[in-house]
Amino acid sequence: MILTLTANPAIDRNVTVDRLVFDDRAYILDTRKAAGGRGINASCVIHAFGGKTLAIAICGGKAGKQLEEYLGCCGFPCELVRVRSEIRTNLTIADRHGLAIKLNEIGPELSAAEVARLEKTVRSKLAGAEWLMLCGSLPPGVPADFYARLIRAAEEAGVRTLLDADEGALEAAMEAHPTVVTPNQQEAERLLSRALLTRAHFQEAAERIRGMGASNVVLSLGARGAVGAFEDGSVWEAIPPRVEALCPIGAGDALAAAFVWALTQEATRPEALQWGVAAGTASARLPGVSFATLEQTREILARVTLERAA
């Protein structure tokens, strides 16, 4: 069982336009709404691959009722923790060339009692789980060390952890030694306070982040693939084929989910990196925020180049 936590879920409104321009009109080609959040997205991918997953998320307000309805159609079990305030609604505008603008609300402010209830719920589900994926931002009212506490609880229960977070939540959680962290380029640049411009920079960044406390690091680089710095000291690159990206939103979530899923299938860490990049690339080829099937991912997997860098 792979548990996912989305502490700050959303209703995602995804708008596709003919071209993304400023000070001129663009025409809307498609509008879709869906349950949003990195952990929920990860559970969608794991379920599509045939894995067992349980998605944990907060839920509140009218948007929360919509979230519950959408999740009821996903096919995997969910544990929703009720909160008093309205969960957020996010807007993504993307064109057919892969350019996108993401406008995210901050999220509801949780009370201390709601935070405690969310933490208790996650802890209660650890028995029997293989992995806990901690995904996305923390809403206001949740302390920065929230993920760190859950990582320690998971370690005590013998559950491996993946952390996909940013800024304070990422930095605080590194001290708890997550099994793997999956920052994208922008998140890594914020964490390290430096620009990353070259392949050498990416490899160095992955190793530096691993030195901050994570056992393994998967640095997601979008269309350029990913760099993995692993606990055995090796560094690998997974380079995807060139494809037409219709919507790259959510590709990083697919990468993280496929990486964990592959490890549960006895893949090596470099092989799991290859699976992750294949899933992210295959998902980016689909319209809207959509996730590739196992068959679509396998087709890309054969074209992902895996190279050892160190």
The conformation of residue 224, written as its DSSP 8-state character, comes to: G
**Has residue 247 got a pLDDT over 90?**
no
Q: Answer with the residue of higher pLDDT: 34 or 270.
A: 270
How would you classify the pairing of strands 160-164 and 226-229? Answer: unpaired
How would you classify the pairing of strands 100-103 and 235-239? Answer: unpaired
Beta bridge partners of 91: 13, 103
> What is the tens place of the pLDDT at every residue in 6-55?
999 999 998 989 998 888 999 999 898 989 999 999 999 999 999 999 99
Average of pLDDT values for 178-185?
98
> What is the tens place of the pLDDT at every residue in 73-91?
889 999 999 999 999 999 9
Average of pLDDT values for 183-191?
96
Q: How many CA atoms lie within 13 A of 188 on its CB side?
A: 25
Q: Buried (b) or exposed (e) across 182-200, using 16+ Cβ within 10 A?
A: bbbbebbbebbeeebeeee
Residue 211: other Cβ atoms inside 10 A = 11
Q: Radius of gyration (Cα) for the chain, nearest Å?
A: 18
pTM metric for this prediction: 0.93
Residue with tokens 């964490």: 191
Alpha-carbon span 54 to 79, nearest angstrom: 7
Alpha-carbon span 38 to 133, nearest angstrom: 9
Query: What integer pLDDT is reported at residue 69 of this predicted model?
Result: 94
Select the CATH number that applies to the domain covering 2-308 from these four: 3.90.1570.10, 1.10.287.1770, 3.40.1190.20, 3.90.105.10.
3.40.1190.20
> What is the tens place of the pLDDT at every residue in 278-303?
999 999 988 777 899 999 999 999 99
